[in-house]
Amino acid sequence: MNIKQALFRAKMLLAGNNIEDASIESEVLLGYVLGIDRARLLASLDADISPEQRQNFMKLVARRSKGEPTAYITGHREFYGLDFNVNPQVLIPRPETELLVDRAISLCREYKYNKIADIGTGCGAIAVSLAVTMPGIHIYATDISDGVLRVAGQNAAKHGAEDRIKFLKGELLEPLQEPVDLIIANLPYVRQREIPAKGPLSYEPASALNGGEEGLDKIGGLCRGVGSKLNSNGSLLLEIGQGQGEAVKVILHKYFPLADIEIEKDLAGIERMVVLRLTQY
């Protein structure tokens, strides 16, 4: 069997199990088995694969057909042009979260911020991306799990950023010992009733998804504590779910009645980010 034939068989199996982007998923999985990137894979469609490679590949395809995310199968996910290690302890980074990184970079450059806190860092995607892009910035990254922080630390070391990120264990802002210029948080915001029992989301850690009845439990908790952890000219970036923008604005206005607060949409037109900028009190 050659690469082209293996990809065709896998694509049919994945599509038959309602897996979106079956062709790309097949290519990623086979490239992982063969230890080559997608470009080289597609340039070698007539090359044969061994029976062992075919068997290993089809085992992975079977796992994906049952809904297990490809990122957990391969242990990798690309984010902001970087390769991140992931496992079922951490949420899989999403492309829309790259908007937070873009906005953070913009704010740091405009207001000369040099101290950032990434709250609920997960695999470290946001913190590491910022450290790589802005080497002069100092970053705190917090999470409640030792296992999660180990993954984040591995990713920081992988990209040579371990000396610019200080990982702290604790709930939300509690580990921070000093105020920072910018707080970034991609906290659980999925409404509890919307978390499926089956499908890809069911493989991800519930603690990283479940935001409570309205999806705002963790976000509300963070907002209550921001005042003592943010410098007087600082900013806050929050990733949110669809339809949550106005509710988050109400929460923030309660604690920061004079702050500038904006809701920004992603490329699909969905409310994705709340940006708070402190004014002088």
Whether the pLDDT of residue 281 is over 60: the answer is: no
Tens digit of pLDDT for each residue in 142-201? Answer: 999 999 999 999 999 999 999 999 999 999 999 999 999 999 999 999 998 888 877 778
Environment class of 228 (CB within 10 Å of its CB; exposed 0-12, middle 13-18, buried 19+): exposed
Q: Exposure pattern of 8-28 as b/e (b: 16+ CB <10 Å)?
A: ebbbebbbeeebeebeebbbb
223/200: higher pLDDT: 223
Number of domains in the chain: 2
Query: Would 103 be classed as within a structural domain?
Result: yes
Tens digit of pLDDT for each residue in 58-115? Answer: 999 999 999 999 999 999 999 999 999 999 999 999 999 999 999 999 999 999 999 9
14 in Cβ contact with 64 (< 8 Å): yes
**Which of 35, 66, 97 is the C-terminal boundary of a domain?**
66
Query: Would 247 be classed as within a structural domain?
Result: yes
Identify whether residues 203 and 243 lie together within a single domain: yes
CATH for 109: 3.40.50.150
Residue with tokens 């984040």: 152
Query: Would 60 be classed as within a structural domain?
Result: yes
Categorize the per-residue pLDDT at 6 as very low, low, confident or very high, splitting at 50, 70 and 90.
Answer: very high
> The whole model's pTM is what?
0.93
Identify whether residues 146 and 250 lie together within a single domain: yes
Task: Tell which phi-psi region holds residue 75, choosing left (phi > 0), alpha (psi between -120 and 50) or beta.
Answer: left
Q: Determine the structural domain holding residue 107 and report its residue range.
A: 79-83+89-277
Query: Would 53 be classed as within a structural domain?
Result: yes
Identify whether residues 21 and 107 lie together within a single domain: no
Identify whether residues 20 and 146 lie together within a single domain: no
Identify whether residues 127 and 165 lie together within a single domain: yes
Average of per-residue pLDDT values in the chain: 94
Tens digit of pLDDT for each residue in 122-135? Answer: 999 999 999 999 99
Identify whether residues 265 and 217 lie together within a single domain: yes
226 in Cβ contact with 254 (< 8 Å): no
Identify whether residues 117 and 244 lie together within a single domain: yes
Categorize the per-residue pLDDT at 280 as very low, low, confident or very high, splitting at 50, 70 and 90.
Answer: low
CATH for 21: 1.10.8
The whole-angstrom separation of Cα 240 and Cα 233 is 23
Identify whether residues 56 and 103 lie together within a single domain: no
